[in-house]
Amino acid sequence: MVDTILVPIDGSAAADFGFQQALALARPLNARLVLLHVVDVEPMFLQGVGDLKDYRKNLRDYGEEILATAAVAAQDQGVQVSYYLRETVESSPASTIVAEAVRQHCGLIVMGTHGRRRLSRLALGGDAELVLRDSTVPVMFVRAPAKTGLGTSQA
């Protein structure tokens, strides 16, 4: 029985759809959702030194906002929820997702995908492919409709 589900969210329509599907799964299972937003610090090194501090703060603020919004939506549905913002410098977002699933004793990772029918990297995205490859926790991908009309802020 799955009692804890990890849901990585980033504000994209695909991630929002994954969140909605995880929420629908969590209710009948009486499972707790663990929401995760990963701030990948490495690309920030491409920014100017003066901009880095503000840029990093903006990304953290954005992550906290989407996490809090999704957490409220889950609570409104009667689902127990916790959320975490993690920053990664030396590892990939995928390895952070996999490590968090283990740390939180999750029985399932639910991720939304764009579901494009091309090479797997294009279909799942690089991070999704790495999560699938490296996770010891079962992973469920949900394909977002082309136009979901969903947004975490509307959830």
Q: How far apart are CA 95 and CA 91, in angstroms?
A: 6
* pTM assigned to the model: 0.84
- Domain definitions of the chain by residue range: 4-148
The residue to which tokens 């804890």 are assigned: 4
- The class of domain 4-148 in CATH terms is alpha beta
Phi, psi of 110 (to 5 degrees): -115, 125
28-72 pLDDT, tens per residue? 999 999 999 999 876 555 555 567 778 788 889 999 999 999 999
Q: Which H helix or E strand runs over 3?
A: none
- Establish how many alpha carbons lie within 13 A of residue 60's alpha carbon, considering only the half-sphere containing its beta carbon: 10
115-135 pLDDT, tens per residue? 655 444 444 557 888 899 999
Mean pLDDT value across the chain: 84
Residue 125, classed as helix, strand or coil, is coil
